[in-house]
């Protein structure tokens, strides 16, 4: 298995397909959560908190000043499985232009990973809140 920091979303989908079993896939998510770089405590504010999640989740983004500006996302949670879900979101979105983020078929990715079937309603709602936050950040950056 690649580490979360070097894996692509396509490699993660392939790994989930190979594993097949939700318990094993969940272990991969937890391992990915363990590898998520820690967020500086000073960034964990009410303004960066993602609402709609049962767990505490924080997310910040910065637009690079490259010729082709991309969003770099930093996120953290106090729950390990949620940290794993954040890793999936970062794999799908981080390092993309705002328009590329808006064009990502994130629901298709979640379906391929089986997250639509295996997550509880509360976790799916939290995941939707995290996606909404990223898409809001991307839309604001695209409009600027």
3-state SS of the chain is CCCCCCCCHHHHHHHHHHHCCHHHHHHHHHHHHHHCCCCCHHHCCCCCECCCCCCCEEEEEEECCCCCCCEEEEEEECCHHHHHHHHHHHHHHCCECHHHHHHCCHHHHHHHHCHHHHCCHHHHHHHHHHHHHHHHHHHHHHHC
Q: For position 1, what pLDDT does the model report?
A: 46
Tokens of 28: 């991969």
Domain coverage including residue 79 = 9-143
pLDDT for position 4 = 58
Domain presence at residue 69: yes
CB 71 within 8 A of CB 98: yes
User: CATH number, domain at 62?
Assistant: 3.90.1010.10
Instruction: Give the global pTM.
Output: 0.89
Question: Which residue among 53, 75, 101, 113 is the active-site one?
Answer: 53
74: in domain:
yes
26 given a catalytic annotation: no
Q: Lowest-pLDDT range, 15-19, 42-46, 50-54, 96-100?
A: 50-54
Domain annotation covers residue 1: no
Residue 109 confidence (pLDDT) above 50: yes
Task: Quote the pLDDT of residue 144.
Answer: 77
């Amino acid at each position: 298995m690649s580490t979360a920091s070097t894996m692509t979303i396509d490699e993660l989908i392939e790994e989930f397909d190979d594993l097949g079993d939700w318990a094993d896939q969940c272990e991969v998510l937890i391992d990915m959560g363990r590898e998520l770089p820690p967020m500086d405590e000073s960034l964990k504010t009410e303004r960066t908190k993602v609402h709609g999640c049962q767990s505490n989740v924080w997310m910040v983004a910065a637009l690079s000043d490259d010729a082709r500006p991309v969003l770099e996302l930093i996120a953290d949670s106090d729950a390990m499985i949620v940290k794993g879900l954040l890793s999936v979101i970062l794999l799908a979105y981080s390092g993309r232009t705002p328009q590329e983020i808006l064009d990502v078929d994130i629901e298709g990715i979640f379906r391929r990973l089986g997250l639509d079937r295996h997550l509880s309603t509360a976790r799916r709602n939290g995941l939707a809140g995290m996606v909404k936050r990223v898409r809001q950040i991307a839309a604001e950056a695209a409009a600027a």
